[in-house]
């Protein structure tokens, strides 16, 4: 009978150890990653970060106080944020230098790995991992939609994330050996492509003449660069005369020369601010530079006193 009692006690102790081992678990949850406003025409990369919170729990008594946790991300690299059929490339990295892409053992790339150990007091520990995202630069033709700021998104679901872990006493295993997924940690990645424009100009220089007995023509240019799909218009100010239909080149000390700016080579449609019969050229951005020619003309007129005559015109792009 004593022998039977010892066997029964041994069996109960084995059950207790099995229960303790089964209480060891790890879980992970990820924050969203939001790049905020992205202007493709800047050609600049945009960075953002997110976090993954990993928690491991142990029973009060354990012989495996360490846990290797492997966070696998299987979404193809480079990754894509999408809006309908449009896409913008980005990627996720394990380091702030964006040199080590976050990957997965299932496609032969490198997952995020971390080791958690049972604390001296308490039965659980949480570690937060930073994930580094970067929208690639040099994507000028990424479009906005509907002539407004446009949200691009990728939902990283459970089919692309895998939580693998193993508790061990000493001698850490490797992530490659942990092929069984025991959880997922879905999250979203978001960026807002903004409507944006920039302009630059070149001067209009008329020839040096002695008399203004015939018309003088010259050209300059305005280069507009707007987000792909972004409608814009460009206005030209009146200059120092204050009148878009009666512009004047003026000389320091007095004197003026009448001139006008046009949208066409025939000098028939004055380029202004939309008032007094002037027009403002319009266009739709492509993400690449678009050059608009400005046609200047000085009509024949009474020649004023000799000197240098000039005017300053402000070009304003509205989008």
Query: Residue 75's pLDDT is what?
Result: 81
Sequential DSSP letters for 172-230: ---GGG---------EEEEEEEPP-EEEEEE---PPP-S--SS-EEEEEEEEEEE-BT-
The answer to whether 257 touches 298, Cβ cutoff 8 Å, is yes
Cα of first residue to Cα of last residue in the chain, in angstroms, is 94
Query: Residue 13's pLDDT is what?
Result: 28
Range(s) for CATH 2.60.40.1090 in the chain?
197-318
Task: Out of 2.60.40.1090, 3.90.180.10, 1.10.1040.10, 2.40.50.140, select the CATH number for domain 197-318.
Answer: 2.60.40.1090
DSSP H/E element including 153 = strand 150-156
Q: What is the mean pLDDT of each run of 10 residues along the chain (319 residues)?
A: 28 30 85 98 98 97 97 93 97 98 97 97 96 98 96 95 97 94 97 98 95 97 98 98 98 96 98 98 98 98 96 98
CATH class of 24-193: mainly beta
Strand partners, 151: 192
Which pTM was predicted?
A: 0.85
Half-sphere exposure of 35 (CA within 13 A, CB side): 31
DSSP H/E element including 273 = none
């Amino acid at each position: 009978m004593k022998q039977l009692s010892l066997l029964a006690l041994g069996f109960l102790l084995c059950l207790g150890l099995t229960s303790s081992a089964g209480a060891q678990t790890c879980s992970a949850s990820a924050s969203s990653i939001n790049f905020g406003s992205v202007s493709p025409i800047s050609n600049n990369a945009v960075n953002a970060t997110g976090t993954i919170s990993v928690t491991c729990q142990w029973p009060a008594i354990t012989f495996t106080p360490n846990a290797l946790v492997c966070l696998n991300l299987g979404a193809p690299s480079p990754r894509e944020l999408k809006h309908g059929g449009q896409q913008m490339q980005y990627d996720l990295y394990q380091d702030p230098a964006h040199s080590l892409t976050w990957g997965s053992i299932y496609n032969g790339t490198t997952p995020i790995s971390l080791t958690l150990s049972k604390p001296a007091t308490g039965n659980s520990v949480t570690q937060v991992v930073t994930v580094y995202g970067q929208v690639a630069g040099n994507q000028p033709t990424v479009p906005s939609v509907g002539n407004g700021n446009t949200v691009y998104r990728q939902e990283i679901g459970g089919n692309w994330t895998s939580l693998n872990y193993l508790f061990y006493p000493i001698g850490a295993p490797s992530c490659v050996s942990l092929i069984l997924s025991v959880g997922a940690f879905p999250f979203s990645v978001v960026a807002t492509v903004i409507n944006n424009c920039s302009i630059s100009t070149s001067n209009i220089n008329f020839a040096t003449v002695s008399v203004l007995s015939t018309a003088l023509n010259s050209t300059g240019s305005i280069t507009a660069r707007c987000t792909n799909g972004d409608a814009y218009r460009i206005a030209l100010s009146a200059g120092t005369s204050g009148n878009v239909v009666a512009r004047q080149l003026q000389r320091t000390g007095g004197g003026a020369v009448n001139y006008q700016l046009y949208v066409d080579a025939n000098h028939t449609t004055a380029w202004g601010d939309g008032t007094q019969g002037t027009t403002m050229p319009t266009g739709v951005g492509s993400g690449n530079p678009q050059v608009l020619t400005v046609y200047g003309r000085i009509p024949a007129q009474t020649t004023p006193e000799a000197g240098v005559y000039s005017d300053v015109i402000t070009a304003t792009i509205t989008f």
